[in-house]
């Protein structure tokens, strides 16, 4: 994997003149330009396809990089670091992307203002982002297009659920109230049959439980019908998709009964649901998509992502397949007519599972949800963090050591480079793969240079390495 460094470890050579003036230069880079997974938390927000390639949008929560990012993914599932773009800088909670027919449209909320940006098929930002609506928050998982117009569900401060219909340039066509006083959970999702839309939402929690409703919205943005799909003690997540002349929904229910996910078909016109089918227990974050012949449902478990095909008849549910076996969450999926692209948040690369530090990965799947390529690919890239440089010199030559972090774990690679008297530098060598980032490394000069660093933050035992002009020797304790 190529990596780009955030802080290039550099050397500056100087000399004193007779009048004691300090002269610097020239500056010489010691470390290569590297790409690496970003430190901190990255959250996948949305994914869209133009029918061939994909475009993925995510939120970076790291303070100095906070904002909304996007990247192209080829039809073969390839992701290039140079394709990554910054769409918006600043704190954001979620974003949505759809393909409008000639460009990708990205929506997000910035300080109670819904913003919109247009991005070309090649992944280039087309002009500055524009204000779409004030005093509102977009429901990122529910933005959908019927090929002509875009439905942008949003919440007011009340909170009331609205359905905003816009054209592909962001012009507002209609703004309808769907429900008042609704819950702002992840059950707010939408799908389209190519003309009208169906929007799901829940009532607010009460002692009587919660209900999941579906609202049919016509091509002009008018609400035509509401119908309850299911009720339960607590409903916090759902998804809906259209295909084969019908809608299908997946719902997560919790409460007095163990948490579980069910799937059901929903009549296109009447919104009457079929009998729910159990998909899995002790699971969360359901999603569903149509592959051209049948629905494929996805969900997260403590054992990784799972998937199963879901026939429109709602019967004969096959056994689920394994998408991945890592602790992951926030899965997103899109179908380009040949393959699904799955995107998720990997929670295993931080200091501990479920702790600070997550990365966004993607993998191409076949029509049944089975991985079509051997391994997932990293989606979000950032400059590798290089910290705590130390230097020692004999007067004729110098040695520089530093720590490079590529994960959120409390350790990184200890690198070293020799600098000649004329300022010439050599390719850095890795001398340790588990140097703690809590204590800076040190170099001791004598007959030879020795680099010292703590092995981990759980022990005081340190290791040292001989550094000489020709090679770096094996460590001694």
Average pLDDT value for residue range 260-277: 94
pLDDT at residue 467 tops 60: no
**What per-residue confidence (pLDDT) applies to 462?**
40
Higher-confidence position of 471 and 245: 245
pLDDT at residue 356 tops 70: no
DSSP structure class, residue 186:
B
Please say whether the beta carbons of 12 and 423 come within 8 A: no
- Measured over all CA atoms, what is the biggest interatomic distance in the chain, rounded to whole angstroms? 92
pLDDT digits (tens, 9 = 90+) for 125-177: 999 999 999 999 999 889 999 999 999 999 998 889 999 999 988 999 999 99
CA distance 243 to 240: 10
CA distance 81 to 85: 9
Cis previous bond, 331, omega within 30? no
**What per-residue confidence (pLDDT) applies to 372?**
93
- Edge-to-edge order in the sheet of strand 377-378: 328-335, 340-346, 359-365, 377-378
**What per-residue confidence (pLDDT) applies to 111?**
87
Select from 2.130.10.120, 3.40.1260.10, 2.60.120.10, 3.40.50.720 the CATH code of 42-380. Answer: 2.130.10.120
Burial class (CB in 10 A: 0-12, 13-18, 19+), 410: middle
Encoded tokens for 433: 């793969």
**What per-residue confidence (pLDDT) applies to 313?**
60
Please say whether the beta carbons of 375 and 392 come within 8 A: no
CA distance 262 to 212: 13
Q: Where are the domains of the chain?
A: 42-380, 384-467
**What per-residue confidence (pLDDT) applies to 393?**
80
Please say whether the beta carbons of 189 and 206 come within 8 A: no
**What per-residue confidence (pLDDT) applies to 341?**
95
**Nearest CA among 112, 99, 213 for reference residue 150:** 99
């Amino acid at each position: 994997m190529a990596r780009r460094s955030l802080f290039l470890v550099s050397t500056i050579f100087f000399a004193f003149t007779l009048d004691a003036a300090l002269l610097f230069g020239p500056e010489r880079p010691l470390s290569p330009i590297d790409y690496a997974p970003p430190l901190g938390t990255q959250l996948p927000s949305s994914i869209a396809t133009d029918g061939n390639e994909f475009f993925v949008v995510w939120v970076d929560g790291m303070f100095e990089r906070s904002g909304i990012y996007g990247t192209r993914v080829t039809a073969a599932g390839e992701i290039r670091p140079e394709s990554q773009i910054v769409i918006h800088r600043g704190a954001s909670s979620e974003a949505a992307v759809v393909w409008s027919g000639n460009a990708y449209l990205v929506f997000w909320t910035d300080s109670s203002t819904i913003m919109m940006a247009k991005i070309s098929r090649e992944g280039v930002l087309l002009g500055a982002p524009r204000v779409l609506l004030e005093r509102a928050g977009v429901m990122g998982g529910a933005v959908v297009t019927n090929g002509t117009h875009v439905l942008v569900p949003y919440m007011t401060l009340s909170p009331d659920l609205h359905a905003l219909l816009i054209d592909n340039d962001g012009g507002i066509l209609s703004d309808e109230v769907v429900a008042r006083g609704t819950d702002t959970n992840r059950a707010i999702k939408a799908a389209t049959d190519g003309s009208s839309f169906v929007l799901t939402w829940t009532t607010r929690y009460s002692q009587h439980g919660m209900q999941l409703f579906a609202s049919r919205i016509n091509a002009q943005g008018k609400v035509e019908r509401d119908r309850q799909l299911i009720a339960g003690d607590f409903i916090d997540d759902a998804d809906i998709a259209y295909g084969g002349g019908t809608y299908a929904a997946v719902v997560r229910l919790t409460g007095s009964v163990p948490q579980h996910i069910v799937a059901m078909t929903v009549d296109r016109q009447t919104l009457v649901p079929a009998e729910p089918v159990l998909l899995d227990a002790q699971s969360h974050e359901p999603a569903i998509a149509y592959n051209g012949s049948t629905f494929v449902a996805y969900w997260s478990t403590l054992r990784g992502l799972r998937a199963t095909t879901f026939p429109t008849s709602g019967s004969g549910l096959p056994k689920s397949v394994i998408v991945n076996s890592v602790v992951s969450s926030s899965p997103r999926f899109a179908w380009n007519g040949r393959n699904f692209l799955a995107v998720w948040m990997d929670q295993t690369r931080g200091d501990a599972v479920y702790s600070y530090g997550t990365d966004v990965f993607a993998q191409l799947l076949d029509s049944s949800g089975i991985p079509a390529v051997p391994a997932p690919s990293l989606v979000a890239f950032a400059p590798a963090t290089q910290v705590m440089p130390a230097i020692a010199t004999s007067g004729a030559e110098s040695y520089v050591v530093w720590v490079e972090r590529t994960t959120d774990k409390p350790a990184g690679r200890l690198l070293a480079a020799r600098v000649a008297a004329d300022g010439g530098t050599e390719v850095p060598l890795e001398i340790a793969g588990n140097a703690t980032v809590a204590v800076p490394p040190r170099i001791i000069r004598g007959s030879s240079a020795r680099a010292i660093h703590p092995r981990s933050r759980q022990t005081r035992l340190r290791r040292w390495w001989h550094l000489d002009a020709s090679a770096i020797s094996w460590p001694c304790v």
